[in-house]
C-alpha cells in the first residue's frame, strides 16, 4: 500500500518539476460525457468537445495511448497520439495513472472498431490520484469496503451511482407531486425534549448551555400537527428520524421519513394520495407495473387491494378477531408469547407472523385495533377499530396513515392508557401538544412513508444500506 502510494507520489513530483500543478484548478465549459456521446454524428469530423473525468482504463501503444475517462453520466474513450499532441505533452501522458482526474479537449471521431472517441488536442491533469483504484473488471465487491469507502464505490460502480441518482430523482418527484397539490414543505425540530409521535427508543444528547438532555426525534408527527392547528393546512416534511434500535436489511438507525398532513381529509384521502404518488413513480421509473425486487416480481398496477386488518387476519389464520380463545390457541401453536399480552397485541403479533409475509403486491391494511393506534380517530361503525392503514409491499411496511385524532380529551385519555401508571407518565406526555389540540385542530389525514424502503423497492435493492450513502457501521 505504502509502495503504490510512493510510486504515484514520485510521478507527482516529476509533474511538479515540469511545472505542472498535479491538482489542477478551474476547468470550465466542459460537456457531460453523455451529451458528448449523443452529439456525435458520423458525417462530421470537426466536432470540438471538452470533457473531464476519472481515468478508468489505459491502453498505451508506444507512441499512442487510449484511455477511458468516466464522469457521472458516462464513459468515453480518449485517443492521445504523439504526432497530434506534441512530444512534450505526450511525455506527460506517461505520468498519468488509473484514477487520475483528467480534462480533455479534442474532436470526436469513430475508431475503426466503431467506438466514439475524443481525439485529444490537449489534456489537463485535474487531480493526481495517490491510491490504486479497485480492479477494472470486478470493481469493488467487498460490501463492508463499499459502505465504508462509498466514494470509491461510487466512482467504481455506475450501478451504485445510478441507484443514488435515482434516489435523488425519486425524492425530487415526491416534492413536485406534493407541491402541485398545494402542500408546503416545513422543517420541525430534530432535537426534542419529549420524543413523541411513535414508540421507539430514542437517542439521547445533551445541550450544554441549557444543561438539559434532548432526544433526537423518532418522528416529526406532533410538531406537524401543531402546524395544522396553526392553520398550515397542507404540510409535509422529508427528513431524518432516529431510532436507537437494531440494524437490519430494513432498518438503519437514521432513516428518511416523509410525513404529511392534509386538513379536512382522512385516511381514505391518504390512500388515494399514496397510491397516486407511488404509481406515478413506478410509471416514471419503469413505464410498466411489473417491477423486480430481489427474487420476486411485484405487480404495482392500481387499484391496489384494500382489506381490513380483521379480514386479512381471518384469511390467513382462519380465526376471527372476536374469537379471543382462538387467537390465543393459534398463537400458542406458532410458539408466540401470549401471557400478559392483551388481545389486540396478540392479534397484531399473529398478523405480523402470518399475514405480513404474504403481502407481496401492494396492499392497504385498514382499521387496526384502536388500542395500538393512540393518535387515530376510531371508526364510526365500531370504535374498537381505528381509521388507520398501513401499506405493505414485498412484505415491508412502506406507509402508515390515519385519520388524525383531533379530540384533545380523547387524546389525553389515550396517552394515559398507553403509558400506564402515573410514575411512567411523568415527563413523557407532550402537554403542549395537548394544549395545541385544545385550540382546535382540523380533522385531517396524516401519512408517513419510509423513503428508504420506498427507494429500495423502486431501485431493486433488498438491503436498506444499498440506498443510504453512508449507512451506520461500527468504527474500525
Partner RNA sequence: GCGCCCUUAGCUCAGAUGGUAGAGCAACUGACUCUUAAUCAGUGGGUCGGAGGUUCGAUUCCUCCAGGGCGCACCA
Please state whether the peptide bond connecting residue 303 to the residue before it is cis, i.e. omega within 30 degrees of 0: yes
Q: Which residue has the cell 392534509?
A: 262
Specify whether the backbone of 62 is left (phi greater than 0), alpha (psi in -120 to 50) or beta. left
In contact, 12 and 130? CB cutoff 8 Å: yes
CB of 337 to RNA, least distance (A): 8
Residues near RNA (CB under 7 A)? 1, 3-4, 7, 11, 57-64, 66, 68, 77, 79, 81-83, 97-98, 109, 111-115, 117, 131-132, 134-145, 147, 197-201, 243, 245-249, 251, 352, 372-375, 390, 397, 400, 418, 463, 465, 473-474, 476
CB of 287 to RNA, least distance (A): 29
In contact, 42 and 110? CB cutoff 8 Å: yes
Task: Give the nearer residue to RNA in terms of CB position, either 73 or 129.
Answer: 129
Task: Give the nearer residue to RNA in terms of CB position, either 113 or 421.
Answer: 113
In contact, 369 and 348? CB cutoff 8 Å: yes
In contact, 111 and 66? CB cutoff 8 Å: no
Task: Give the nearer residue to RNA in terms of CB position, either 180 or 426.
Answer: 426
CB neighbour list of residue 65: distance below 8 Å, 6 or more residues apart: 58, 59, 79, 80, 93
CB of 319 to RNA, least distance (A): 19
Task: Give the nearer residue to RNA in terms of CB position, either 66 or 72.
Answer: 66
Task: Give the nearer residue to RNA in terms of CB position, either 209 or 339.
Answer: 339
Retrieve residue 341's grid coordinates.
399480552
Number of H helices, E strands in the chain: 16, 18
CA distance 298 to 292: 6
CB of 86 to RNA, least distance (A): 11
Q: Which residue has the cell 380517530?
A: 377
CB of 234 to RNA, least distance (A): 21
Task: Give the nearer residue to RNA in terms of CB position, either 110 or 320.
Answer: 110
Q: Which of 212, 263, 135 is nearest to 427 (CA)?
A: 212
Transcribe 176-199 into DSSP letters: HHHHHTT-EE----SEESS--SS-
CB of 247 to RNA, least distance (A): 7
Q: Which of 449, 469, 455, 432 is nearest to 194 (CA)?
A: 432
CA distance 81 to 85: 6
Q: What crossing angle do the helices spanning 267-286 and 158-180 adopt, rounded to 10°?
A: 140
CB of 248 to RNA, least distance (A): 4
Task: Give the nearer residue to RNA in terms of CB position, either 167 or 465.
Answer: 465
Task: Give the nearer residue to RNA in terms of CB position, either 311 or 356.
Answer: 356
CB of 455 to RNA, least distance (A): 16
Q: Which residue has the cell 415527563?
A: 427
Task: Give the nearer residue to RNA in terms of CB position, either 283 or 417.
Answer: 417
Task: Give the nearer residue to RNA in terms of CB position, either 164 or 282.
Answer: 164
By residue count, the chain amounts to 476
Retrieve residue 128's grid coordinates.
493526481
Which secondary structure element, helix H or strand E, spans residue 261, and what is its range?
strand 254-263
CB of 176 to RNA, least distance (A): 27
CB of 327 to RNA, least distance (A): 17
CB neighbours (10 Å) of residue 396? 20
Amino acid at each position: 500500500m505504502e509502495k503504490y502510494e510512493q510510486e504515484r507520489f514520485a510521478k507527482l513530483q516529476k509533474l511538479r518539476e515540469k511545472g505542472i500543478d498535479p491538482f489542477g484548478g478551474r476547468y470550465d465549459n466542459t460537456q457531460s460525457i453523455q451529451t458528448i456521446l449523443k452529439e456525435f454524428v458520423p458525417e462530421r469530423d470537426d466536432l470540438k468537445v471538452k470533457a473531464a473525468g476519472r481515468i478508468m482504463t489505459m491502453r498505451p501503444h508506444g507512441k499512442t495511448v487510449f484511455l477511458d475517462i468516466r464522469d457521472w453520466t458516462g464513459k468515453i474513450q480518449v485517443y492521445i497520439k504523439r504526432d497530434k499532441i506534441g512530444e512534450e505533452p505526450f511525455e506527460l501522458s506517461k505520468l498519468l495513472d488509473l484514477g487520475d482526474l483528467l480534462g480533455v479537449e479534442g474532436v470526436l471521431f469513430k475508431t475503426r472498431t466503431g467506438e466514439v472517441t475524443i481525439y485529444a488536442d490537449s489534456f489537463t491533469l485535474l487531480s493526481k490520484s495517490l491510491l490504486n483504484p479497485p480492479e477494472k473488471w470486478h470493481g469493488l465487491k467487498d460490501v463492508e469496503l463499499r459502505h465504508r469507502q462509498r466514494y470509491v464505490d461510487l466512482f467504481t460502480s455506475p450501478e451504485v451511482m445510478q441507484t443514488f441518482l435515482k434516489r435523488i430523482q425519486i425524492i425530487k418527484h415526491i416534492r413536485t407531486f406534493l407541491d402541485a397539490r398545494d402542500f408546503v414543505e416545513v422543517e420541525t425540530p430534530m432535537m426534542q425534549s419529549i420524543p413523541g409521535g411513535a414508540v421507539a427508543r430514542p437517542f439521547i444528547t445533551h445541550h450544554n448551555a441549557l444543561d438539559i438532555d434532548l432526544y433526537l426525534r423518532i418522528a416529526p408527527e406532533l410538531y406537524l400537527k401543531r402546524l395544522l392547528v396553526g392553520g398550515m393546512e397542507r404540510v409535509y416534511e422529508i427528513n431524518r428520524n432516529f431510532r436507537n434500535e437494531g440494524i437490519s436489511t430494513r432498518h438503519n438507525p437514521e432513516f428518511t421519513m416523509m410525513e404529511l398532513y392534509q386538513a379536512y381529509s382522512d385516511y381514505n384521502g391518504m390512500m388515494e394520495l399514496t397510491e397516486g404518488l407511488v404509481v406515478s413513480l413506478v410509471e416514471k421509473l419503469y413505464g410498466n407495473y411489473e417491477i423486480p425486487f430481489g427474487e420476486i416480481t411485484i405487480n404495482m398496477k392500481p387499484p391496489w387491494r384494500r382489506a381490513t386488518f380483521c379480514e386479512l387476519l381471518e384469511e390467513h389464520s382462519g380465526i376471527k378477531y372476536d374469537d379471543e380463545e382462538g387467537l390465543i390457541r393459534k398463537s400458542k401453536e406458532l410458539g408466540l408469547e401470549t401471557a400478559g399480552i392483551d388481545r389486540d397485541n396478540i392479534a397484531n403479533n399473529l398478523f405480523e407472523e402470518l399475514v405480513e409475509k404474504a403481502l407481496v403486491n401492494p396492499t392497504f391494511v385498514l382499521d387496526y385495533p384502536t388500542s395500538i393506534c393512540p393518535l387515530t380517530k376510531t371508526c364510526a361503525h365500531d370504535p374498537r377499530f381505528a381509521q388507520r392503514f398501513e401499506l405493505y409491499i414485498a412484505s415491508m411496511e412502506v406507509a402508515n396513515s390515519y385519520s388524525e385524532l383531533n379530540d384533545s380529551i380523547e387524546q389525553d385519555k389515550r396517552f394515559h392508557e398507553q403509558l400506564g401508571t402515573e410514575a411512567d407518565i411523568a415527563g413523557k406526555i407532550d402537554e403542549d401538544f395537548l394544549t395545541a389540540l385544545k385550540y382546535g385542530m382540523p380533522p385531517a389525514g396524516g401519512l408517513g412513508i419510509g423513503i428508504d424502503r420506498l427507494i429500495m423497492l423502486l431501485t431493486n435493492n433488498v438491503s436498506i444500506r444499498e440506498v443510504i450513502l453512508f449507512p451506520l457501521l461500527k468504527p474500525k
